[in-house]
Amino acid sequence: MVAGGDPGVAASATAQDHWSSRFAFVMAAVGSAVGLGNLWRFPAEAGANGGGAFVIFYILCVVLIGLPILLSETLIGRHGQSSAVESAKVVARESGASDGWSALAWVGMLGAFFILTFYSVVAGWVLYYIGVFGTDLIAAIGGGTLFEGAFAGQSVEQVQGHLPSLFADPLMMILLHGAFMGITIYIVARGVTGGIELAATWLMPAFFLLLVGITVYGAFTGAFGQALEFMFAFNPERLLHGPVMLSALGQAFFSLSLGSALMITYGSYASRSTNLAGASTIIASADTSVAIIAGLAIFPIVFAAGLDPALGPTLMFQTLPASFQAMPAGSLIGFLFFVMVFFAALTSSIALLEAPTSWAIHKFGAGRSRTAITLGLIIFSIGMLSALGYNVLSHVRPLAFWPTFAELDILDSIDAITGKILLPLSGLLTAIFIGWIADRKLTDAENGISGGLHLIWRFLIAWLCPIAVSLILILGIFPGLIG
């Protein structure tokens, strides 16, 4: 589905590439935003943090903090017409400010780079489950049991045992992580229009169809009412609860792909005629809708099986597969579900690789393919530490006096450092830069809003965003400050 396109397009980009349409820009940006964050993190966080209160606060965070920063990032890119770092420098120079403001893009790019190291490992688990359900689907068709539950004849323990047996298999984990990185590199190497755009404009519509299909299926065959209750039950005493507010804001940041240099990069490929405020609103609404619908797709299936919505990675990789065991046509729906997750993860990983790739192409002037392959291999190698931390390296100490890899939990630690420090830091610098430093005439000519909306945006980006993001940053570094 990704092949095709003009093979000649993969050449190096000296002149700035551009999306071929506004639709392509929006699909690529939505593709980056919609990912593993929406599909298991959001439902799990909503469930763990009091349902309705979390959802309401999350939507507030998206509108009041996410959206103004999203607009600021796309604006920097479109004005700079270069990689994220160079674009930030262009805006800084034209505003008479120091080149040092490009730190906002540097920090974000490091964030994207490190997120991809573990994102690809988790996406490898998704590939594994496509295989597990695919095998089961073939067996079900062969045995004439297609309309029955998945994994006929296996116990719940056996179904849930697929994840630990994958973790115990270092070769399989590396192969899957490598396969996923390989596909990502291939698409990024093919270029902005010939690779990224082509993948997004096919995969995202397919993703939406699958998501709606699975949700409707869950609404008819699953425990939809119970899922609604679980996700939206309003729990007012938790609304103004520090940790809930904190995780909602952090989740909004991660989910919208903010603070990762990416929206600057994708903004730089947007044409002058694209209204950035309009496009940003569509991107943020699509991402938020997918997160909420994902909850309405997953929980009815889990509740129908009478299972507890265990939180964290086990929700998608153990609880859900066990739930498909009890659903009619479980093998088929389970297979389609993981194909859908794969599409979402792939359009995000492409974006995660594109942010540093675009910088390196501009910086070193090497060809796009060579740059994407080199960066991809470095990311793959660092990611191996996350994958092998579950098995061969689990008892190894990186330095004699350090904890073991299992204790360090590389995957979770990189997730925490990027999500709690790098992304908010980049977002904070962006808000201060656009709110206080950048030339007003320059930003006003890019943002596509006027009148009252413009005043609101100025207020949010100069005041609310820096204050709120500073809070997540401080509390992310010193978690002990709140109970």
In the complex, which residues of this chain contact ligand TRP (CB under 6 A)? 32-33, 35-38, 112, 115, 254-255, 257, 260, 262, 348, 351-352
Residue (39 or 53) nearer to ligand TRP, CB: 39
Q: Are 140 and 331 in contact (CB under 8 A)?
A: yes
List C-alpha distances in Å: 268 to 96, 265, 300. 21, 5, 41
Report the residue number, 304 or 352, with the smaller CB distance to ligand TRP.
Answer: 352
Q: Which is nearer to ligand TRP, 326 or 472 (CB)?
A: 472
Provide the residue type at 128 as one letter: Y
CB of 261 to ligand TRP, least distance (A): 8
Q: Which is nearer to ligand TRP, 257 or 318 (CB)?
A: 257
* Minimum distance from residue 183 beta carbon to ligand TRP (Å): 15
- CB closer to ligand TRP, 191 vs 356: 356
CB of 255 to ligand TRP, least distance (A): 4
By C-beta, is 254 or 359 nearer to ligand TRP?
Answer: 254
Query: Smallest distance from the beta carbon of 40 to ligand TRP, in angstroms?
Result: 9
Say which amino acid occupies 474: I
Least gap, CB of 120 to ligand TRP (angstroms): 12
Pull the structure tokens for residue 461: 């980006």
Cα angle value 78/84/89 (rounded, 5°): 85
Of the candidates 419, 388, 457, 483, the one whose C-alpha atom is nearest the C-alpha of residue 63 is 457
We find the least distance from the C-beta atom of residue 256 to ligand TRP, in angstroms, to be: 7
- CA distance linking residue 52 with residue 233, whole number of Å: 5
Q: Which is nearer to ligand TRP, 37 or 47 (CB)?
A: 37
Phi, psi (deg, nearest 5) at residue 260: -125, 25
Measuring CA to CA, how many Å separate 260 from each of 66, 74, 111, 160, 192? 13, 12, 6, 34, 18
Q: How far apart are CA 81 and CA 61, in angstroms?
A: 29
> Is the four-CA dihedral 52, 69, 197, 103 of positive or negative sign?
negative
Least separation, in Å, of the C-beta of 184 and ligand TRP?
11
Which one-letter amino acid corresponds to residue 325? Answer: Q
Residue 44 structure tokens: 């799990």
